[in-house]
Amino acid sequence: MSDHSTDADRESDRETLRDLVMTTARALRRRWFGNLDPWGLSPHEVRALMVVDRLGTPRLGEVARRLHIAPRSATEVIDRLDERGLTERLPDEHDRRARCVRTTEAGRHMLTELRAAQGVGADDYFAVLSEDEREQLAGLLRKLTDAQPPDDDHRHADLRGHRKHI
């Protein structure tokens, strides 16, 4: 076998691995989006609700930054969550011109339900793997995640070194 075919094989392996990871991620996202139907929330609304809940009482600008969207778009998403009673706005303690947002009890309850549904969806997806295979996959993915520089927005910072049972 020549060096040229070996390089071509390696390139094909890299493409295959990349494509497998991307296909898996897309399949999980499709399942997750389908699971949102009973709650009538868009993926953007769920992400915003999760960000607000994780941050406590962030300013709307911080929510926009974490979601990588324009402040006006964050305001629109939070408006929809406010209308459903899932979040509420309050004055910023340090700057009375600024507004903060926080999840309500109803919002936290919905997040609990959403996380449970997400867990069931993931369990169903990964059911074809044995316990050992799931742990091996988790270890490999964790190794890749841990080797990357930290995200500026910390979206995945809670996954670094995470040892939760899969």
- Span 69-115, pLDDT tens digits: 999 999 999 999 999 999 999 998 888 888 899 999 999 999 999 99
Say what percent of the chain tops pLDDT 90.
58
Per-domain residue ranges of the chain: 36-127, 129-166
Residue 123 burial (CB count, 10 A): 11
- Closest-CA residue to 103 (of 63, 157, 154): 63
Q: What is the pTM of this model?
A: 0.70
List C-alpha distances in Å: 32 to 20, 39, 54, 97, 122.
18, 12, 19, 37, 8
| Residue 12, H or E segment | helix 3-35
The secondary structure of residue 150, as a DSSP letter, is P
How confident is the model over 113-122, as pLDDT tens digits? 999 988 888 8
Confidence at residue 162, expressed as pLDDT on a 0 to 100 scale? 42
Q: Given pLDDT bands bounded at 50, 70 and 90, which one contains residue 45? A: very high
67-90 burial code (b ≥16 CB/10 A, e <16): bebeeeebbebbeebbebebbbee
Confidence at residue 3, expressed as pLDDT on a 0 to 100 scale? 54
Options 1.20.80.30, 3.40.50.2000, 3.40.220.10, 1.10.10.10; which CATH number does 36-127 get? 1.10.10.10
Helices 60-67 and 43-55: angle between axes, nearest 10 degrees: 120
